[in-house]
Every structure is written in structure tokens, then in C-alpha cells.
Structure 1
């Protein structure tokens, strides 16, 4: 009987999930990957060379001009360390909602790890340095440089590396809460850096709540 009830629940939930995932979720997106690509290209051309902070400020300014209050004001005090998939870097959350996040992510030292398996599409726009990626079965690395965009399709798995100083603008579109366990598991079960856990939870929840008040989910 329990198996029968479980099968009934699954049979009911699967069509609901399919409908939400196929027809509702895409209507919640506000960010256009092509617009972000143009913002990155223009910012790389106009921001002072060898001043990464100035590049962050320029991109954030252009994003706010395009997307208004859906973008958080850039603040150097709001960077957060991030450990996920055996890689370590830091991030600044520019936007977080149920369906999207937009962050600056990178490292001053270099890092390497597992991309994770995500219920979202991930667009990784290189701002400084390089990102290398390894797709299973391909003996040669994919190499992405400033101005390039690395698209990690939903459900795709890769090994990735930022071999030295590297920074990127990262957009994820999909079920963002489903990505949080990957983003927090290393902190909870390995590094035990609960201050970082708290800051990550605070800035993520704050952005999601503020977006929800504006009707952005």
C-alpha cells in the first residue's frame, strides 16, 4: 500500500513539475545572456586596464542601468568566500532570486574542482585570467579568456580550473534553491567556516526576499 501511495504521489507531482519547469520558470527570467555579453565586452574596452575593482564597478554600473533595483550596489565589504566542488574562491552577489542569480566569482590565487550537477544553465563570462574546462572523453582542455563566455548546460558535468588569478561574471538560470546544497555542503561538512556559511545565507536570503517584494521570483 505504501508503494502504491508513493507511486500516486509521484504520478501527480511529475506533471506539475514538468509544467512549472517548462512553462512557468522561463517566464521568471529577466537577464538576457546576450545583453550580459555586450556589457562585459563594453566594460572590458572602457575600464582601466589592470584594475579589476574598477572593472567590477563599471560592470555593476552598467547592470544597474539595464536592470535597476534588481542589481545590488557593488560594495567591497560584501565579498564572500565560497567552497564548492573542492574549489575555493570568493563571490559578490549582484542578484539572487528563485529562478536566477548573478554574481562576480573568482580567485586571486587559482583553484580547481568539480562544476557540480545543477538544475540550471550557467553562463560564465571571463573578465580576467583564464578558465580551463575538461569535458569527459575530450583529451584537450577548453580554454576561455577575457570576453569569452563558457556555457555550462543544465545537467552537464565538467572539471574546471582557474590556473591563476581569474575573475568572471556568472549567471545561473533555473531552480536556484536546488543549487544551494552544492554551494554550502563543503562549508558545512569540510571547512566548518560557519561565519562564511552565515554570510552566504544572509546575503542570499536578503536578495531573494527583496526581489520577492518587487515581484521577482
Structure 2
């Protein structure tokens, strides 16, 4: 039991700390608004992580994939959301002298949106959890799902704690502010790329159903 919980927590940690649009957004929020806003942002991310961890673990325990329709719809939403973020970053202009380029007014809601529409989402979650839990698959059953999800969320929480601590360091904040324009523009291009990839993955499946 303890080994299963440890594996789920490690999977959540790896899932949370691996690079992606959310990590880039966290850097900007932490540098521009401080650790308090960054903490609210990652709190929103945790809600999304709980959803993806639950779906991935349900698929593994059930030894079958969840129906693809829900992921195609989420992929479509994710794609449009990331395109919006990307174009907003590419067009961003500072509000005044020394003002940050991007300043989300509601970090918690922004984190929640990022978590639910995370482009890593289901495929990465399934791959990570499968790699770490497959050796103990015989011990998995539906009764363990809640505690495994809780362990995974704890792992993600630890990962985000490390990221918030690192991005909140004065040298990191100075580095970000010094090169903010370049980082924001590059992040915008990455968001657009992720968005187009999400649409390319989800649209064909939805069109096939129609």
C-alpha cells in the first residue's frame, strides 16, 4: 500500500514539475506579482491535476481507456485557450514604466483554467502513472482510487512548492524582468504551438463523429 502511494505521489510530482505552458506562466506571475500570486496560481493548477490524475488512474485501474470524446472536447477548449494566451502574449505591452507585460488579475482562476486545459493533460498523466504503477498493477482496485489521487495531488503540491520557491528568488525575478519581453514573446509562440497541436489532435476526432 505504501509503495503504491509513494509511486502515485512521485508520478504527481513528475507531472507537476515537468516543463510546459503552466510553468512559463508561473515564472511570469511570480516575477511580476510575487509569491502570493504564484501560490494562488498553483492552487488553481492543483484542481486540474486532481482531475487528470483521477482520469488517468481510472483508465489504468479499469485496464481500458476512457472514451475519447471528453478528451477531444477538452483538447478543443485547450487549443483555443492556448491560442488566446499566445496571441495575447505576442501583443502584450507594458501598462507603464517598470510595469510587467502580463499581469493576470485573478491568478487563482488563471491557474484553474491552466490546470483543466493543460496540454500535458491525459496522455502525459497516463504515461507517467503507468510507468510508475505498472509493476504493481495487480494490487490496484477501485477502492484505492481516492487515496491514490490524493497522493498524486500531494506530489504535485510539492513540485509546485519548489517551483514557487525558485521563481520567487530575487535573482530569478531580476533575470526574468531583465529579459521579460523576450521571454513573454517566446512563451506566446510556445502557447500558439501547443494550441495548434491540441486542435490538430482533437478536431479530426470530433469531425469524424459528426
TM-score surpassing 0.5?
no
RCO greater where, 1 or 2, for CA within 8 Å and sep 6 or more? 2
- Using the size of structure 1 for normalisation, the TM-score is 0.25
- Using the size of structure 2 for normalisation, the TM-score is 0.26
- More helix by proportion, 1 or 2? 2
- More strand by proportion, 1 or 2? 1
